[in-house]
Structure 1
Amino acid sequence: MALSVWIHLADRSCAAVGAALHQALIEVDIAPTDRPDHHEGIGILIFGHFLPTLTDQIRKASLQVTLLVICCSPVSLPPDVMWALLQAGATDLLLWPDGHCYREQVTARLLRWDAVQSIMKSPAVQGILVGESLAWRRMMRDVVEVAAFSRSPVLITGETGTGKDLIAKMVHRLSGHQKPLTVLDCTTLSPELAGSEFFGHERGAFTGAVTTRDGAFAEANDSVLFLDEIGELSLPLQAQLLRVIQEQQFKRIGSNTWYPTQFRLVCATNRNLEEEVARGTFRADLYYRIAGWRCRTPPLRERSSDILPLAHHFLRLLASDDPYPSLDPAVRQYLMTRSYPGNVRDLRQTVARIWHRHTGPGPITIGDIPPDERLYSTPAWPDACFVDAIRHALDLGVPLLRIGQAASDTAFRLTLDQEQNNNQRAAKRLDVSDRAVQQWRKAHDCTTN
Structure 2
Amino acid sequence: MTISAWLYFFGEVPSHTRASLTTALEQANLTLHPFTSQPHSFGVVVFDRMDDANLRELRVMTRSATVLAISTSLAGLDSAKMWAVLEAGAADLLLWSKLHTATDQVVSRLQRWDALQNLIESTPVKGTLIGKSPLWRNLVRSVVEVAAFTQASVLVTGETGTGKELIAHLIHDLDRRTNKGDLIVVDCTTLSPELSGSELFGHERGAFTGAVTARDGAFSLADGGTLFLDEVGELSLPLQAQLLRAVQEHKYKRVGGNTWQHTEFRLICATNRNMEADVANGSFRADLYYRIAGCRCRTPSLRERRDDILLLVSHFLGQMDPQAATFDLDPAVREYLLTRDYPGNIRDLCQTVKRIWHRHIGPGPITIGDVPMEERQCGISCRSSWPDQGFEGAIRHAVDLGIGLKEISQNAADLAMQVALEQEGDNLQRAAHRLGVTDRALQMRRASRRAIH
Conserved 8 A contact 2:301-2:345:
yes
Give the distance between the partners of 1:242 and 1:15, measured in 2 at CA.
58
Conserved 8 A contact 1:9-1:15:
no
Q: Which residue of 1 aligns with 2:87?
A: 87
Give the distance between the partners of 1:114 and 1:32, measured in 2 at CA.
15
Q: Give the secondary-structure state (helix, strand or coil) at the position aligned to 1:63.
A: coil
Q: Which residue of 2 aligns with 1:16?
A: 16
Conserved 8 A contact 2:26-2:32:
yes
Structure 1's 240 and 405: CA in aligned 2 closer, same or farther, altered over 3 A? Answer: farther
Q: Which residue of 1 aligns with 2:170?
A: 170
- TM superposition shift of 1:182: 0.8
Counterpart pick for 1:233 among 232, 235, 254? 235
Structure 1's 347 and 213: CA in aligned 2 closer, same or farther, altered over 3 A? Answer: same
Q: Which letter maps to 1:417?
A: Q
Q: Which residue of 1 aligns with 2:380?
A: 376
Query: For residues 107-129 of structure 1, what are the alpha-carbon distances to aligned partners after superposition, in whole Å with 9 as ceiling and x for unaligned?
Result: 11111111101111222212113
Conserved 8 A contact 2:188-2:232:
yes
Q: Which residue of 2 aligns with 1:244?
A: 246
Q: Which residue of 2 aligns with 1:316?
A: 318
Q: Give the secondary-structure state (helix, strand or coil) at the position aligned to 2:176.
A: coil
Give the distance between the partners of 2:79 and 2:413, measured in 1 at CA.
28
Q: Which residue of 1 aligns with 2:340?
A: 338
Query: For residues 21-78 of structure 1, what are the alpha-carbon distances to aligned partners after superposition, in whole Å with 9 as ceiling and x for unaligned?
Result: 3323333322111136997511100011223211122112112321000011241412
Structure 1's 402 and 164: CA in aligned 2 closer, same or farther, altered over 3 A? Answer: farther
Of residues 19-28 and 363-372 in structure 1, the stretch that sits farther from structure 2 once superposed is 19-28
Q: Give the secondary-structure state (helix, strand or coil) at the position aligned to 2:67.
A: strand
Give the distance between the partners of 2:228 and 2:395, measured in 1 at CA.
35
Conserved 8 A contact 1:300-1:340:
yes
Are 2:418 and 1:417 equivalent residues in the alignment?
A: yes
Q: Which residue of 2 aligns with 1:182?
A: 184
Give the structure-2-normalised TM-score. 0.87
Conserved 8 A contact 1:231-1:273:
yes
- TM superposition shift of 1:247: 1.0
Q: Which residue of 2 aligns with 1:277?
A: 279
Give the distance between the partners of 1:186 and 1:405, measured in 2 at CA.
53
- TM superposition shift of 1:345: 0.7
Give the distance between the partners of 1:159 and 1:196, measured in 2 at CA.
29
Q: Which letter maps to 2:380?
A: Y
Give the distance between the partners of 1:301 and 1:339, measured in 2 at CA.
8
Q: Which letter maps to 2:144?
A: V
Give the distance between the partners of 1:221 and 1:383, measured in 2 at CA.
48
Q: Which residue of 2 aligns with 1:212?
A: 214
Query: For residues 336-367 of structure 1, what are the alpha-carbon distances to aligned partners after superposition, in whole Å with 9 as ceiling and x for unaligned?
Result: 01111111111000000100111223311111
Q: Percent identity?
A: 51
Query: For residues 203-260 of structure 1, what are the alpha-carbon distances to aligned partners after superposition, in whole Å with 9 as ceiling and x for unaligned?
Result: 2111111221111111111111111111111111111101111111111111111111
Q: Which letter maps to 1:223?
A: G
RMSD between superposed Cα atoms in Å: 3.1
Give the distance between the partners of 2:368 and 2:171, measured in 1 at CA.
39
Give the distance between the partners of 1:172 and 1:38, measured in 2 at CA.
35
Which structure 2 segments of 5+ residues have no match? 422-427
Conserved 8 A contact 1:203-1:209:
yes
Q: Which residue of 1 aligns with 2:55?
A: 55
Give the distance between the partners of 2:111 and 2:326, measured in 1 at CA.
40
Q: Give the secondary-structure state (helix, strand or coil) at the position aligned to 1:155.
A: strand
Structure 1's 307 and 321: CA in aligned 2 closer, same or farther, altered over 3 A? Answer: closer
Structure 1's 390 and 418: CA in aligned 2 closer, same or farther, altered over 3 A? Answer: closer
Structure 1's 37 and 56: CA in aligned 2 closer, same or farther, altered over 3 A? Answer: closer
Give the structure-1-normalised TM-score. 0.88
Are 2:31 and 1:31 equivalent residues in the alignment?
A: yes
Give the distance between the partners of 2:244 and 2:404, measured in 1 at CA.
43
Give the distance between the partners of 2:211 and 2:272, measured in 1 at CA.
33
Q: Which letter maps to 1:414?
A: L
Give the distance between the partners of 2:153 and 2:291, measured in 1 at CA.
8
Q: Give the secondary-structure state (helix, strand or coil) at the position aligned to 1:376.
A: helix
Give the distance between the partners of 1:403 and 1:282, measured in 2 at CA.
46
Give the distance between the partners of 1:345 and 1:9, measured in 2 at CA.
45
Query: For residues 91-115 of structure 1, what are the alpha-carbon distances to aligned partners after superposition, in whole Å with 9 as ceiling and x for unaligned?
Result: 1011235788721111111111111
Q: Give the secondary-structure state (helix, strand or coil) at the position aligned to 1:94.
A: strand
Aligned residues: 433
Of residues 375-384 and 402-411 in structure 1, the stretch that sits farther from structure 2 once superposed is 402-411
Of residues 36-45 and 308-317 in structure 1, the stretch that sits farther from structure 2 once superposed is 36-45
- What does residue range 192-203 of structure 1 map to in structure 2 within 5 Å? 192-203=194-205
Q: Give the secondary-structure state (helix, strand or coil) at the position aligned to 2:66.
A: strand
Give the distance between the partners of 1:109 and 1:37, measured in 2 at CA.
24
Give the distance between the partners of 1:227 and 1:53, measured in 2 at CA.
46
Give the distance between the partners of 2:97 and 2:76, measured in 1 at CA.
8
- TM superposition shift of 1:18: 3.4
Query: For residues 133-190 of structure 1, what are the alpha-carbon distances to aligned partners after superposition, in whole Å with 9 as ceiling and x for unaligned?
Result: 1111111011111111111111111111111111111110111243221111111111
Q: Which residue of 1 aligns with 2:424?
A: none
Q: Which residue of 2 aligns with 1:6?
A: 6
Of residues 398-407 and 32-41 in structure 1, the stretch that sits farther from structure 2 once superposed is 398-407
Q: Which letter maps to 1:6?
A: W
Which structure 1 segments of 5+ residues have no match? none
